[in-house]
């Protein structure tokens, strides 16, 4: 099959920085069996082309991006026809994919991977904050042939809109991020890790408040925060105000190779997001033998209480209490880690590729049946 994959970013030509590992894993696996063209909207400012993991990357760049992306898909289709167009993330990506697919009479698939279904006015986040976004999502999600999402909370949100989605988790590439058996804590001081861009949606402010409670209670811990700071030092200032300079380190962006030893040294992944479709880092932590405590979003809500522990969004007191509970009960921590790892290994990157490929084949066969017309 010839596939068009529409992405917002995450496929930098370096293969290491400004990438989303789950995207790379899917592209690499699909390119082994199919001709894959990735149309990325905003990876670089100007239009460009490069090869990555066996796929052809078409960077659209800034300025009339959606129209030029549709034109680029049409041009490549004229060279040799596509069989299907797949958008990961809705919004602009799905609009491009579905519009191009309709014009070319091709099947399309949309994977919800972010905040497309939410409206968080207080932080200016979500695809449904404005009527234009709500209209766009309604049109796109009802015009595409298949809608998928990684976790059951997102699946439930789609069903509430009257859609019939399919759950497809974006799994970990076990070749590049191999499993590590859950292990006992090696020091009295707890090692915590948090991996996410520093922004309002990830709500690290709630996490810092939870840690301030634990510090006042006398818990010995160190938290490594890994992620690009989009808040210009605001959270570092908050950490100082809360007296957490000794316990909290802001490490900035790390590549997957740089992140791995940090994750392996951790006793617990802690997350505080207001919204997640994943998070993918929960799966990476699980594969590395590290359990998760976080707010009740995405996979954290889906796995709780057997393979992760979830607390209400924004509740730093409950978050602090649950972190302490896990750190005080080594048997519980190891049990959560083992169950989480089993889940993550069952739904790895190979599983993701197989699931998407099965959906591609279903849509391709349905289109072939329609084109063939009724049998006599």
Q: Tell me the C-alpha distance between 312 and 304, whole Å.
A: 12
Q: Tell me the C-alpha distance between 5 and 41, whole Å.
A: 11
**Quick check: 281 pLDDT over 90?**
yes
Contact criterion met (CB below 8 Å) for 311 and 297: no
Per-residue pLDDT at 86: 98
Residue 231's φ and ψ, nearest 5 degrees, are -105, 10
Query: Start-end ranges of CATH 3.40.50.2000 in the chain?
Result: 2-171+349-372, 190-346
Contact criterion met (CB below 8 Å) for 235 and 205: yes
Q: Tell me the C-alpha distance between 262 and 22, whole Å.
A: 19
Q: Residues 182-202: pLDDT tens digits?
A: 999 988 999 999 999 999 999
Per-residue pLDDT at 376: 47
Q: Which helix (H) or strand (E) holds 364?
A: helix 349-372
Closest CA to 86 of 78, 77, 98, 74: 98
Q: Tell me the C-alpha distance between 364 and 213, whole Å.
A: 55
Structure tokens at 357: 């490929």
Contact criterion met (CB below 8 Å) for 270 and 193: yes
Q: Tell me the C-alpha distance between 4 and 1, whole Å.
A: 10
Contacts made by residues 215-222, CB under 8 angstroms, sequence distance 24+: 215/242, 215/243, 215/244, 215/247, 217/324, 219/190, 219/324, 219/327, 220/188, 220/189, 220/190, 221/189, 221/190, 221/191, 221/192, 221/247, 221/327, 222/189, 222/190, 222/191, 222/192, 222/247, 222/248, 222/249
Closest CA to 151 of 363, 353, 372, 344: 344
**Quick check: 374 pLDDT over 70?**
no
**Quick check: 36 pLDDT over 80?**
yes
Q: Residues 225-254: pLDDT tens digits?
A: 999 999 999 999 999 999 999 999 999 999
The CATH code of domain 190-346 reads 3.40.50.2000
Give the DSSP letter string of 14-57.
TSSSSB-HHHHHHHHHHHHHSEEEEEESSSSSS-EEEEETTEEE
What is the model's pTM? 0.95
Q: Residues 40-77: pLDDT tens digits?
A: 999 999 999 999 999 999 999 999 999 999 999 999 99
Q: Tell me the C-alpha distance between 40 and 261, whole Å.
A: 30
Higher pLDDT, 128 or 195: 195
Q: Residues 288-337: pLDDT tens digits?
A: 999 999 999 999 999 999 999 999 999 999 999 999 999 999 999 999 99
Q: Tell me the C-alpha distance between 319 and 106, whole Å.
A: 47
CATH: 3.50.30.30, 3.40.50.2000, 1.10.1200.10, 3.40.50.10490. Which one for 2-171+349-372? 3.40.50.2000
């Amino acid at each position: 099959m010839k596939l068009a994959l529409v992405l917002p970013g995450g496929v930098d030509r370096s293969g290491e920085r400004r990438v989303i590992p789950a995207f790379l894993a899917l592209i690499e696996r699909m390119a082994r069996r199919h001709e894959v063209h990735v149309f990325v909207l905003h990876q670089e400012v100007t239009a460009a082309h490069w090869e990555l993991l066996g796929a052809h990357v078409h960077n659209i760049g800034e300025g009339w991006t959606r129209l030029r992306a549709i034109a680029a898909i049409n041009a490549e289709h004229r060279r040799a026809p596509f069989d299907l167009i797949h958008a990961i993330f809705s919004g602009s990506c799905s609009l491009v994919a579905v519009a191009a697919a309709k014009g070319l009479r091709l099947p399309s698939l949309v994977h919800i991977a972010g905040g497309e279904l939410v409206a968080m006015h207080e932080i200016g986040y979500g695809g449904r904050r404005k009527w234009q976004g709500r209209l766009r999502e309604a049109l796109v999600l009802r015009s595409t042939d298949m809608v998928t999402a990684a976790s059951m909370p997102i699946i439930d949100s789609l069903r509430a809109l009257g859609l019939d989605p399919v759950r497809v988790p974006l799994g970990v590439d076990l070749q590049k991020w191999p499993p590590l058996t859950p292990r006992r804590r090696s020091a009295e001081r707890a090692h915590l890790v948090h991996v996410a861009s520093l922004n309002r949606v990830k709500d690290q402010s709630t996490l810092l408040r939870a840690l301030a409670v634990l510090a006042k209670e006398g818990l010995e811990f160190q938290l490594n925060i890994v992620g690009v700071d989009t808040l210009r030092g605001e959270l570092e200032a908050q950490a100082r105000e809360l007296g957490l300079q000794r316990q909290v380190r802001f490490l900035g962006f790390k590549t997957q190779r740089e992140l791995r030893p940090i994750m392996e040294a951790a006793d617990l992944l802690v997350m505080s997001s207001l919204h997640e479709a994943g998070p993918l880092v929960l799966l990476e932590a699980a594969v590395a033998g590290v359990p998760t405590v976080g707010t009740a979003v995405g996979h954290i809500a889906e796995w709780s209480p057997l393979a992760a522990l979830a607390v209400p969004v924004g509740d730093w007191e409950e978050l602090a209490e649950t972190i302490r509970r896990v750190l005080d009960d080594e048997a519980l921590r190891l049990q959560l880690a083992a169950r989480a790892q089993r889940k993550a290994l069952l739904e790895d990157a190979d599983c993701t590729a197989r699931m998407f490929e099965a959906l591609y084949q279903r849509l391709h066969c349905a289109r072939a049946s329609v084109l063939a017309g009724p049998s006599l």
